[in-house]
Amino acid sequence: MLFTPDGKQIKRVPHASDFRAAIQLLGASRAEGVRRALNRIIDEMPPDKETGRRTFNSAQVASQLQPWPYPLAGLYDIALDIEGNDATGRQVYDRAGLIFALFVWECFMARQERWVLQDQGAGPSGPNQEIMGAVYQELGLD
């Protein structure tokens, strides 16, 4: 489950139309593969030595995974489909990052543990920075 810092449960993925389009392009099977891969990454994250809780920074994790393994690499494929052949590499990269971040958001909403959306982005601002720079901190089981 995902919560705001003030304790309100988050029940919707932002950029819903972008997310639906990505899922449609991926298809049910590949979308589920992305979800499984992300949940595996979250499950395998070590807890902080001092707090005993896990922290997930979506931008940092996306960078550490470069190049993205399949099924996550499929997000680049559909980003190119969405942006079109005339898109710059940066446009495709940014679109793939947004799609990755939306899947991450969805995964945290669906988990049994309680997570708080700790920080909605730091650094350069842009239309998707609040999603792509999101930091999730584990609160524990409900």
37-49 average pLDDT score:
95
Per-residue pLDDT reduced to its tens digit, 74-102: 999 999 999 999 999 999 999 999 999 99
13-31 average pLDDT score:
96
State the Cα–Cα distance between residues 100 and 66, nearest whole angstrom. Answer: 12
Contact yes or no for 35/108 (Cβ under 8 A): no
State the Cα–Cα distance between residues 68 and 70, nearest whole angstrom. Answer: 7
Q: Which of 64, 61, 72, 78 is nearest to 33 (CA)?
A: 72
Q: What residues does 138 pair with on adjacent strands?
A: 115
CA quadruple 72, 119, 130, 28: dihedral positive or negative? positive
Q: What is the mean pLDDT of the chain?
A: 88
